[in-house]
Amino acid sequence: MNLLRTYLADFVSLLFPELCLACEASLVAGEHILCSDCRFNLPFTNFHQQPDNIVARQFWGKINVEAAYALYYFQKGGKVQHLMHNFKYNGMQQIGNLLGNIAGGQLLNNPILKTVDVIIPVPLHKKRLRERGYNQSTCFADGLAEKLNAVVDDENLIRTVATKTQTHKSRFARFENMQHVFEVKNPQLLEGKHVLLVDDIVTTGSTLEACGVELLKVPGLKLSIATIAYAE
Q: Identify the pLDDT of residue 155.
A: 96
Type and span of the H or E element at 175: helix 171-177
- 185-202 pLDDT, tens per residue? 999 999 999 999 999 999
Q: Identify the pLDDT of residue 180.
A: 79
- Report whether pLDDT(11) > 50: no
Closest CA to 112 of 56, 73, 45, 161: 56
Q: Which pTM was predicted?
A: 0.87
Specify the pairing of strand 182-184 against strand 194-202.
unpaired
Most distant CA pair in the chain: distance in Å?
64
What is the C-alpha to C-alpha distance for residues 19 and 35, in angstroms, rounded to an integer?
Answer: 8
Q: CA 166, 61, 138, 178 torsion: positive or negative?
A: negative
- Report whether pLDDT(9) > 80: no
- 99-153 pLDDT, tens per residue? 999 999 999 999 999 999 999 999 998 888 998 899 999 999 999 999 999 999 9
